[in-house]
Structures are given as structure tokens and as C-alpha cells.
Structure 1
Amino acid sequence: MLDYAQARRLMVDCQLRTFDVNDIAVLDAFDAVPREHFVPPGSEPFAYIDQALPLGGAEGDARHLPAPMLHARMIQALRIGSGTRALDVGTGYGYAAALMARLGGRVTALESVPALAQAARERVDGARVDVTEGPLAEGCPSSGPYDAILINGRVEVRPQALLDQLKDAGRLVCVLGRDRAAKATIFVRAGDAFGARPLFDAALPALSAFREAAGFAF
């Protein structure tokens, strides 16, 4: 039987630390939260592989758990701390929401697929994470504004409705772009303006809610 505690330690040491994840609190959170609890039944032995893991979802609207090192770098860039109001978009089974709650965040986990939203509710700490069902591109303005927003999937268009739900100086991290040209990107709000900066090349399946319209040039 796989020793999941050892698998987590190897993930932290061999995947995260070697990919410029150096925030001790983030490393501790990834070592403490059991990633295998946040994948479909039967997929537990694959929870720690170095690639995105399918989570299921509706036809044409599949969810994937990002590879550990990608997830960790994105969460590290959000600078989650005690009291951070965070929105986890496309939460799937709730793994990123659980990590951000472990870091001290007050988290709204948004999911549009009812079965996945229910799966997340069964896995996260309801005292720290509120799982909400609704369209991903619309966010959850009733629980905002947010200090930090994470999108768990690639977006092909600027997520403006989500950006508008950031507080001043709030941060949104996503994988932005098409196919191999995509990059993990951080947006930071300054009043009514939003600065954007690429962080690193990243590969992640696209979320249907953020696909560009046919014929639109990115």
C-alpha cells in the first residue's frame, strides 16, 4: 500500500522545492493537506504525479487538478495569510481551497458542476471554506471583494468579472493563453486599473467558461 505521508514529503522535496517554491508556510501546507483525499475514488495512487489529474465534470466542461509544482507556485504568488479573503474558482474536489484555508485564508470555493461542488463540501473544513455553486466566469461577488483569487484551469480570455471582484491591491493568479503559449500570470488591482505580469510557462487544460469565442484573435 502506498505511504501517502511519504509521497507528500517527496512531492514537497522533489517537485516543489526544485521549482522555486520557497515559502515555508506554503511548503508546510502542501505537506499537511492530504492531496489523495481530493481526487476521484480510485485515483488516489496517482495523486502525487507531476502532471494535471482529471477530476471529471460535465461533458465539455472537465476539471483537472493542476500538477503540484504548478499549483504551489500559483498559490505562493497569492501570498495567502491569516484573514486573507480568497476565491477559489473551479475548485473541483476542493484541494486548493483546503490549502488556502490551511494558510489562514477565509475561502469561497466556486464550482459550476453540481457533483463536484458536493464532493468538495464533503472534503473541506466548512468552518474555513464555503463551497458555492454557480457559473465560474461570474465569480461570487456576494462574498467579495477578495484579496486573492485563484483560477484552477487555463483561461483564454481576460477574466474581467473576476478582476472586478478584487480589493484594491488584490491579486488574481491564473494560467492565461492558448496551448503551449500559456503562462501563469498574476494580475494586481490598483484602483480601477489592473497590472498583469507573466510568472512562468505553464500547461493546464482550459476551462470552458473562459474560452475565447471562435474567430477572436488572442
Structure 2
Amino acid sequence: MTDFVQARRTMVDCQIRTNDVTEARVVDAFLTVPRETFVPAAKQPLAYLDADLAVGGEAGQRYLIQPMYLAKLVQAAGIKSTDTVLDIGAATGYSSAILAELAEKVVALESDEGLAASAKTALASYPNVTVVNGPLEQGAAGSGPYDVILIEGAVEEIPQALFASLKEGGRLVAVVGRGRPGRATVFVKVGPDHTGRIAFDASVPALAAFAKAPAFSF
């Protein structure tokens, strides 16, 4: 039988601390949240591997992203205890549980009905998380505005509507790029516009909802 507590400690010590994740609150969140709760029963022994973990969903192509990259994205977001956070592409809810340890309120947005239902069940003990089932690219403006928006997968483009859902000075964090690796980028809303800085290179599965529309050609 897998010792999940020890596996969680090993994940943090060998995957997260060793990859420049030094913020104590972030490290503590990954030590606290049981990742095995958020994966299919048959895959629970794989919950703490240093890899993306498939959880089914749309066309069977939805994942919990590699713990190390998730931790680095969360740290880059600079989440405060008073923040309201939108977690886009929450899948079964693991990332939302991590965010719930750091923020005042989390909205977990998931487009796949089955995954959203799984997330609601897995997140039942997190009273500061609300699961919303809807299109990822549209965000969840009705529950905003947000201090932080975190996108759980690689994107080719980010709809302006998501930036519009940020508070002034709010941060949107996403891995931007087609193929691997992409670039984890932190965007900050400044008035009607936004600035961006590259935080690190990252290889995470793409979210189809954020693919560029094919360009017209003769």
C-alpha cells in the first residue's frame, strides 16, 4: 500500500523545493493537500510522480499538470491571503485546493461536466472554493473581479475578456506558446491595458479552448 503522506513529502522535497520554489506558504500548501484525492482511484499510486497526470475529460486529454510547474506558477502569481482567484481549467480540483490554502476565495472553472462534478466532490471540504461549469475561454466574470487568474495549461492566445475580469494591479499567470516548451508569463493589469514578464520556461499540456483560430489562406 502506498504511503501517501511520505510520497507527498518526497514530492515537495525532490520536485518542488529543488526547483526554486522557496515561498513557505506555497510549500506548505503542497505539503497539506492530498493529491491522491483528486485522481481516479486506479491512478492513485501515480499521484506524486514528477509528470503530468491524465484525468480524462474532454477527448481524454485533460491533465493535472506536473507538480513542479504548478508550484512555480502558483509562486509566480504572488497570491495573498485576501485575494480572490480564478482557476481556469481546474479539472478534478487539485490546483484549486492548493489555491484555497493561499487565497481568501477561489473560483474553480471547468468546462467538462464530468470533471466539474468530480471537482465538486473532491473540494467539498474547502468552503472557500466554488466550482463553476462553463467555457474556459469565457472565464467566470460573474464571480469576479479577480486579484489573480491562473490558467491550468498551455495557451496560444488569451482572450481580452479574461484581462477585463482582473482588478487593477491583478495578475494573470499562464504558460504561453505552441508546442514545448512554452513560457510561463505573468501579466499585470494596468488601467485598460496590461504588461507581461516571462517568469520561466515550462512544458505543460495545452488547453484546446485557448488555441488560435486557423488563419484563412487561399
TM-score by length of 2: 0.95
1:27: which partner in 2? 27
1:74: which partner in 2? 73
Structure-2 separation of matches of 1:82 and 1:126: 15
Which residue type is aligned with residue 129 of structure 1? Answer: V
Which residue type is aligned with residue 73 of structure 1? Answer: K
1:176: which partner in 2? 176
The Cα of 1:183 is off from its aligned counterpart by: 0.9
Is the Cα–Cα contact under 8 Å of residues 97 and 126 in structure 2 kept in the other structure? no
Structure-1 separation of matches of 2:105 and 2:158: 25
1:211: which partner in 2? 211
Is the Cα–Cα contact under 8 Å of residues 176 and 182 in structure 1 kept in the other structure? yes
Is the Cα–Cα contact under 8 Å of residues 100 and 126 in structure 2 kept in the other structure? no
Structure-2 separation of matches of 1:24 and 1:126: 21
> For residues 102-181 of structure 1, what are the structure 2 equivalents within 5 Å?
102-124=101-123, 125-181=125-181
Structure-1 separation of matches of 2:158 and 2:82: 27
Which residue type is aligned with residue 89 of structure 1? Answer: I
Which residue type is aligned with residue 62 of structure 2? Answer: R
Structure-1 separation of matches of 2:73 and 2:199: 9
Secondary structure of the structure 1 residue equivalent to 2:41: coil
Structure-1 separation of matches of 2:213 and 2:69: 26
2:38: which partner in 1? 38
Structure-2 separation of matches of 1:202 and 1:159: 21
Secondary structure of the structure 2 residue equivalent to 1:83: coil
Using the aligned pairs only, state the percent identity: 49
The Cα of 1:42 is off from its aligned counterpart by: 0.8
How many residues matched? 215
1:12: which partner in 2? 12
Is the Cα–Cα contact under 8 Å of residues 80 and 105 in structure 1 kept in the other structure? no
The Cα of 1:126 is off from its aligned counterpart by: 4.8
Q: Please list every run of 5 or more consecutive structure 1 residues that lacks an aligned counterpart in the other structure.
A: none
Structure 1 window deviating more from structure 2 (75-84 vs 201-210): it is 75-84
The Cα of 1:181 is off from its aligned counterpart by: 4.4
Which residue type is aligned with residue 97 of structure 1? Answer: S
Structure-1 separation of matches of 2:103 and 2:175: 24
